Amino acid sequence: MTQNYDEGANEANVLAKLIGLPYKVEVSQELMDMLKPNEFLEGLGIRYSERIKIVLNSLKGRLIPKTAGMEERMPKGGIAIPLALATGPFIKEELVSISAKLTDNGGEARISLAVVHEE
């Protein structure tokens, strides 16, 4: 299955809405490419949709909870999400750090998800 950027971004937003995230989500192309399993891993049943769902659920769990009269919200500095990804064909896990930051895209608040690179 080949998934292009638009399909992956749309799938992330559909899942974000189902999970109950109060913002739309933008997934960087680099992160999307990392989350897409190769053909070997797809054969084992690993799917992009399941991987992005793990990231979004982790994000949802780290939001500041609702308080009287206020919605859930992002912490000011953003959120770091660690994720272990299986790679193949030799099964091993790679630890990836993902940053989630609140951005303003034309007046609409969105959460931007991207890979964090070590310096």
What pairs with residue 111 in β-bridges?
Answer: 25, 102
Choice between 34 and 107, residue whose per-residue pLDDT is larger: 34
Tokens of 33: 């490419």
Among 103, 96, 101, 94, CA closest to 118: 96
Q: How confident is the model at residue 76 (pLDDT cuts 50, 70, 90)?
A: confident
Beta strands in the chain (DSSP E): 24-27, 79-87, 92-105, 108-116
> Quick one: what percent of the chain has pLDDT higher than 90?
48
Average pLDDT score over residue span 62-88 = 82
Write down the pTM of the prediction: 0.84
- The C-alpha torsion from 118 through 37 and 105 to 111, rounded to 10°, is -70
pLDDT in the model for residue 6: 63
Q: Is 58 helix (H, G, I), strand (E, B) or coil?
A: helix
Kindly state the helix (H) or strand (E) to which residue 44 belongs, with its residue range. none
d(Cα 104, Cα 36) in Å, to the nearest integer? 27
| Beta pairing class for 108-116 and 24-27 | parallel
Among 94, 92, 99, CA closest to 116: 99
Q: Domain residue spans in the chain?
A: 5-116
